[in-house]
Amino acid sequence: MNETVSGHPLPCGRLVEDVFDELDSGQVGPHAQECEHCLAASRGLRALNDATSALLDDPAEPPAGLLDRVMGAVRAELRRGDTLTLPAPLGPAEVSLRAVAAVLRYAADSVPGVWARHCHVELDPGRSDAVHIQLSVSLRYGTGPLHVVLAEVRRRLAAAMAGQVGLHVESIDLELVDLWEEGNR
């Protein structure tokens, strides 16, 4: 449609757009209640509204393999990333920082009301068996006293680091970056 055209005129001289605006506002004037063209236009709007409802339940779904294909490409592009060197009896072991971050996020998520977000881990410059952790979290509104919840997050992060990675935690910077509410997205 040409943008300069102001609307779709009906044989009675009114614009379809104006009839629809009236219907939307619920204030249909005397002309539109009587005029056959306006009544036909309002039937057209009802038909469109019904069809729009059908479109909202559009059954079309993406092909089954699409997600796997994209995730395969994403996985292939994922850089190996930085690694931590773990002291081990038969020689050092390399572990990817992304894997360590995943362990830490999992530990933080296990505290009710806590969702881990950004996670950064680095080795202490002075020691080969200790790390510094930075983690941002989002907290469910009304979860409880902040210091209690964050203390529990710290405790679980340190336990996961020691138990599952085998490194000592030197410091943990926790940042509360957001709040979420149950049932909202």
Partner 1 sequence: MAPVQTVGRAGPEPGESVMDDPTLVGRARDGDLPAFEALMRRYQGRIYRLALRMTADAGDAEEVTQDVFLSAWRRLPEIREDAAFSGWLYRTATNRCLNLLRRRRPTSELDDQVPNQVEADPQRATQSSAQLEALVAALQHLTPEQRAVWLLREAHHRSYEEIAQVVGTTPQAVRGRLSRARAQLAELISPWR
Q: Which amino acid is at 116?
A: A
Q: Using CA atoms, how far apart are residues 22 and 163, in angstroms rounded to an integer?
A: 68
In the complex, the smallest distance separating the C-beta of residue 181 from partner 1, rounded to whole angstroms, is 9
The stretch near partner 1 (CB under 8 A) out of 76-84, 126-134, 146-154, 156-164 is: 76-84
Are 164 and 121 within 8 A, CB to CB? no
Restricting to residues 166-185, which ones interact with partner 1 according to CB under 8 A?
A: 177-178, 180, 182-185
Nearest-5° angle of CA 165, CA 161, CA 172? 145
Q: Which of 83, 109, 132, 170 binds partner 1 (CB under 8 A)?
A: 109
Cβ proximity to partner 1, 41 vs 169, nearer residue: 41
Long-range Cβ pairs for the range 150-157 (8 Å, 24+): 150/174, 150/176, 152/111, 153/108, 153/111, 153/114, 156/107, 156/108, 156/110, 156/111, 157/104, 157/107, 157/108, 157/133
In the complex, the smallest distance separating the C-beta of residue 144 from partner 1, rounded to whole angstroms, is 16
Residues interacting with partner 1, by CB under 8 A? 1, 3, 5, 7-8, 10-11, 15-17, 20-21, 37, 40-41, 43-45, 47-48, 50-52, 54-63, 66-67, 69-71, 73-75, 77-79, 81, 98, 101-102, 105-106, 109, 115-119, 136, 138, 140, 177-178, 180, 182-185
